Amino acid sequence: MLLHRPTIGLFDSGVGGLTVLRALLDHIPNANYLYFGDTARLPYGSKSAATIAHYAVGAVRYLQEQGAELLIIACNTATALAFNEIKAAATVDVIGVVEPGANAAAMASSNKKVVVIGTDATISSHAYRRALEARGVEVREKACPLFVPLVEEGWVEHPVTEQVAKIYLSEAFSRNAHETGAGDADVLLLGCTHYPLIKPLLRRVAPDHIAIVDSAESTAQEVLRQLGNSPTSNPATLADRDESKLAAQLKFFATDSAEKFTRMGTRFLGLPVEDVTHVDLKE
């Protein structure tokens, strides 16, 4: 029996985490979602771990005040650099994007060799490397700093983006990759929540035998698994619910322009972004 609709809070430094929300909506349509984008203080990648933890803790506390019963850190940088601090500050369960993504990649790889791509900050943290190596997987890491600005420019199918992707992936899967592990990798793990928007392009560019694992999708699957084990929310009962009751309720919070968030967020979510509230978190 579904006792009540779960209220799930998502935190990201900007709009990239909306790809996690999009995956969640596919799997868990009978929930209330609160999304917090710290758009006034992005990018997080150039900031210290202490600063990122400070920002993230403030945001997740705000989400809890708004009623979040489960927190998703839909930001690879914050998960990689501040997950323990966030978890310590939260009074509800917290799920990051790194562990679900690493788990899905390890399961998808037949030869236990994976290439991870992400931003400079995420790759430099080696969070995915540690998570994958703990699962017995060899890892090749590749920072792809141009992807985020290209995606935010809307160039998801632009020839420039395709050319950049060819360069990045040729380096990641090159023969000299054998020297640093995962030279004959069979999985490409997308370690950035912007990257699902260029997944079709990456599929065309990547070697045919490579499976692509999306950490946003993997995180949604982990949330579904956890809610399935919760006595207050059983997604298995969805088929018995009236369709009119399943539409998710979405609220958005942004620390910068609500108008800008609405415009860019609609592209990332693939749905109209409405009900955006400007939030000014005190330092």
185 in Cβ contact with 89 (< 8 Å)? no
Residue 149 φ/ψ, nearest 5 degrees: -65, -35
Condensed to tens digits (0 to 9), the pLDDT of residues 229-263 reads: 654 444 444 434 444 345 789 999 999 999 999 99
Tokens at 136, concatenated: 């017995």
Q: Which of 20, 23, 57, 75 is catalytic?
A: 75
What's the pLDDT at 37? Answer: 97
192 a catalytic residue: yes
Residue 52 φ/ψ, nearest 5 degrees: -60, -45
DSSP, collapsed to helix, strand or coil, labels residue 10 as strand
| Average pLDDT per 10 consecutive residues for the chain, totaling 283 residues | 77 96 94 96 88 95 97 96 96 97 98 95 95 97 95 96 97 68 84 96 95 96 86 43 60 96 95 94 75
Q: Which of 53, 172, 187, 192 is catalytic?
A: 192
Tokens at 9, concatenated: 């809070």
Listed residue (220, 80, 198) closest to 148, CA to CA: 198
75 a catalytic residue: yes
Domains of the chain: 7-96+217-278 (3.40.50.1860), 99-215 (3.40.50.1860)
C-alpha to C-alpha distance for 204 and 271, rounded to whole angstroms: 25
What single DSSP character describes residue 248?
A: P
